Amino acid sequence: MLIDDKNVQFGGMTVKRMKNYKAGVNFGLWISQYGNAGKEHFDNFITEADAERVATWGMDHIRLPVDCFFFESDEAPGMYSEERLQYIDNCLEWCKSLGLNMIIDLHAAPGFTFFYADSSIWDSGAKNDLFENREKQERFIDIWKMFTKRYRSEGRNLAFELMNELVSDSTEPWNELWLRTVDEIRKIDGDRTIIIGGNKNNECNQLKFLAVTDDPGVVYTFHFYEPGMFTHQRSPFIIPLKDYPIPVTYPFYKKDHQAFFDAFDKMGLIPDVYRREVFDRGFIHDDLEPARRFVEETGKELYCGEFGANEFCDPESAERWFEDVVSELDGMGVGHAVWTYSGDFSFLTRGYPREDGNKKIIAMCSRIPGLSK
């Protein structure tokens, strides 16, 4: 898929850095969030054939989540496993051979992972200490210096996403760290596209708290899983949802799930956008308003690095939800990558042979508005 070198306009946003990252997919759960898996998983969960399939779908990029402890351990900081880094190299070579672009997303960082949040929502007793630990901050920066040197010869076919889904009491410590990291990257590579996300798991209403830099290579990102009681229904790691037994369809009415809303309200977790009676495309449009406002106020490019629905969502509702979300993102000119290619959140391939997949949802998530395939 070829796009000319000129800036393009989508949805009122001037797209420069992300014009080749309009419709993609995450290769999640491969070298990120892999639990106790080992070499057999790494060799077989994702292969070149999967990248080829993504290309045949008409997508233009792959977001590759990578956990730092996949290639570096706390016991040997700064010692990077060449054998493990080769998996990233391989994926990049597949992408290049297929005309796909790629994002390296540091899905777990030294002292930080998105589900180790001190929050009443997440069912985890673990803590993050990246922002209190100077040594881990230096490790974080060193990882990105290593990637920058390793991939210095690559062009805009490769982008760096510095960290996945910040969860912190304040965005300010993250602003300080990512700005320092960008400075170090720029000493090595003056043109690499660098993607920065905000707090509360990259919610778009947190974009306004991010520092705005005049670096033209910095792009901002958010994730979209709203309404969460649909996309994350019965999720075992989210306390209000894991024991809620009533199936949630899409669209839905608040009155059909009043008990859930009442429980969430008691926890003080109902945002204003949820104070409505029906959850449909109008809700999705309104929930994305902070993203539109961020573009208007800053002139910066946006990218949606994750959106998806879990295995408890019925397929017909999922099709309606994907259509509404992709249509809204396309209307805003925001490129996107569906979560995920394979696994619990994959409506692309789950329940189908990988060579077939869910053709309706694949077609929705592969659309690139204004471009010919």
Q: Mind telling me the catalytic residues?
A: 165, 306
62 with 32: CB under 8 angstroms?
Answer: no
| Alpha-carbon gap, residue 46 to 40, rounded angstroms | 11
Strands (E) in 21-144, as ranges, are: 23-26, 61-67, 101-109, 112-113
Those residues with Cβ within 8 angstroms of residue 261's Cβ, 6 or more apart along the chain or in another chain? 254, 270, 274
185 with 148: CB under 8 angstroms?
Answer: yes
In this structure, what are the phi and psi dihedrals at residue 63, rounded to the nearest 5 degrees?
A: -95, 125
Supply 15's token pair.
Answer: 């797209």
| Alpha-carbon gap, residue 57 to 39, rounded angstroms | 28
Q: Rounded to the nearest 10 degrees, what angle do helices 359-366 and 315-332 cross at?
A: 10
Task: Residue count of the chain, please give it.
Answer: 373
24 with 367: CB under 8 angstroms?
Answer: no
Those residues with Cβ within 8 angstroms of residue 340's Cβ, 6 or more apart along the chain or in another chain? 25, 26, 27, 28, 29, 308, 346
Q: Rounded to the nearest 10 degrees, what angle do helices 48-57 and 82-98 cross at?
A: 30
276 with 284: CB under 8 angstroms?
Answer: no
Q: Which helix (H) or strand (E) holds 41?
A: helix 39-44
